[in-house]
Structure 1
């Protein structure tokens, strides 16, 4: 969507969903979570806030997003206020003393669907039972549409 004017600030609302692997008996059926993102865009760079139906009840403030466009490509990092996770019983928990890993989103504009779609990934560091560090990668897909765009 390169219809934005240079040196002009746009206020935009994006709405869509992301999918992530659900750790249960239907592991091959990903969980869909709807989200909305409010951003300020200037000269192909954007910053804003993210809220989704799963994590919103757990936080007092929205997650932060920061990213850029390059022609039809976009990339951004999503950062929740602090750690949230599913415990062994499948319940959502938070830990204010730990940072949530950054989630990296990247994708492209699709002319046919008039939406952006792509993949996300997150890396978490752990220690095994011997104290050796190891990394776990979680990934999924996402899609959103620009619902509104106006000059600030």
Structure 2
């Protein structure tokens, strides 16, 4: 079933896994995502508790929905990192790497669990590539239960 002009709000968390310091691993960061769906393709914004005070604008999301899954790419306004004291430092001269999310619906189609992945470094090595990839888990629940599905 195709959805048209459906606005949805999702709330959840993401966590860091491989590639992060032990203190950051498994830390849950809450977020809210608002999307508008047209023909099962959506666009929207996402605000998370970790970066909400750092940027003047929210992250953008673009993706698609099918019967069993949701896939989207999140883009922050610019690159950022945490310094040795945990303070967020913005790098406006550098584009933030795309963050690829893939999640699967539960039976009620109101909850999604899945993984995210971000390639932070890529170098050609002969015929192959050497990559540094960060990843983690995410979970989110649709908050406006009266939306058409």
TM-score if structure 1 supplies the norm length? Answer: 0.82
Give the unaligned 5+ runs of structure 1: 128-132
Give deviations 1:31-85, integer Å, cap 9, x for gaps.
1100000110111110000000001110000000000012111100000000011
- Match for 2:83 among 82, 87, 95? 87
Cα distance in 1 between the residues matched to 2:60 and 2:93: 18
RMSD of aligned Cα (Å): 2.3
SS of 2:62 mapped into structure 1: strand
Match of 2:69 in 1: 73
Give deviations 1:73-130, integer Å, cap 9, x for gaps.
1100000000011223332111111011000000100127941110000001268xxx
Query: Within the alignment, does 1:20 sit opposite 2:16 as a pair?
Result: yes
SS of 2:143 mapped into structure 1: strand
Match of 1:57 in 2: 53
Give the unaligned 5+ runs of structure 2: 124-128
How many residues are matched?
140
Match of 1:107 in 2: 103
Q: Check the 8 A contact 2:70/2:102 in 1, yes or no.
A: yes
